[in-house]
Amino acid sequence: MNATHKTIFSIFISLILLWSCNPASNSSDVLRVGVQVGPEFTLAEAAKKVAKEKYNVDVELVSFNDYVMPNEALRQGDIDVNVFQNKPYLDVQSKNRGYDFAIVGNTFVYPMAGYSKKIKDISQLKAEDTVVIPNDPTNLGRALLLLQQVGLIKLRDNVGLLPRLQDITENRLKLRILELEAPQLPRTLDDDQIAVAIINNNFAASHNLTAKRDGIFVENEKSPYVNIIVCRQDNKENEKVKDFVKAYQSIEVEKVADEVFKGGAIKGW
């Protein structure tokens, strides 16, 4: 290597060392947290504030408006943690997409409910009325279990947490049960052909609907669908992740949840 090459090589190495030591370029300084748009984002903002004030952890919130991308972003390393799903949903996604994530904490149970602008009580449902439910496997199964809970259908024995339409063994009113993308469900309430829409709490709340106040039937407190805080296996021992969990599971966030969901969020830790 001649003198010129040595000089260029030295400059190159120096630039690499300077870049690697530059705190501003170190993404690990900020914990990137994926959250659904809507009311749960407000809870994450409260957790972000607690994380900074109590644990000096800087949190960047990354918003998503679907159920697929938060896990893909976590796998790709675009975010460090996500807070949007329950374990049954994660189990399905892990099986289908090969995820190997770590659950590091619980958040809240957000009860699913049946909403309607056509009827005030479940007894007013008529034969062959249309009921719309989410189409993703976990929330579809959850909606069917809710319909069974309130006596509108029966499912085959030992169906577990992921029943499908073909698992219905009895439908005494011959209800037409249709599947739709979860974000579309609140808008169907204005459709004259839809009697009931079974809606996840986050999408309901974003349309000013509260399970406790507006639902004509509501998932009970025994629901296994508590939401969880999820990260990758490679960062589950990271102190920032642990501190964020503590921040989320704080009295401050619990108070915000009570205000935002008007008593409809049940603490899961």
Tell me the three-class secondary structure of 106-160, residue by residue: EEEECCCEEECCCCCCHHHCCCCCEEEEECCHHHHHHHHHHHHHCCCCEECCCCC
Cα–Cα distance measured from residue 260 to residue 65, given in angstroms and rounded to the nearest whole number: 19
Is pLDDT larger for residue 264 or for residue 94?
94
User: Looking at residue 77, what is its pLDDT?
Assistant: 97
* Contact by Cβ (8 Å): 169, 99: no
Distances (CA, A) of 41 to 208, 260, 267: 15, 11, 16
User: Looking at residue 221, what is its pLDDT?
Assistant: 67
User: Looking at residue 20, what is its pLDDT?
Assistant: 37
User: Looking at residue 1, what is its pLDDT?
Assistant: 55
Domains with residue ranges and CATH for the chain: 31-110+225-267 (3.40.190.10), 113-218 (3.40.190.10)
Closest CA to 228 of 139, 106, 82: 106
Is pLDDT larger for residue 224 or for residue 33?
33
Distances (CA, A) of 20 to 27, 76, 77, 238: 11, 21, 19, 20
Contacts of 131 (CB under 8 A, 6+ apart): 114, 147, 152, 175, 176, 177, 178, 194, 195, 196, 197, 198
Closest CA to 31 of 1, 61, 74: 61
Distances (CA, A) of 6 to 1, 2, 66: 6, 6, 52
Identify the helix (H) or strand (E) that includes residue 182. none
pLDDT digits over 6-49, tens only?
444 444 443 333 333 333 334 568 999 999 998 899 999 999 99
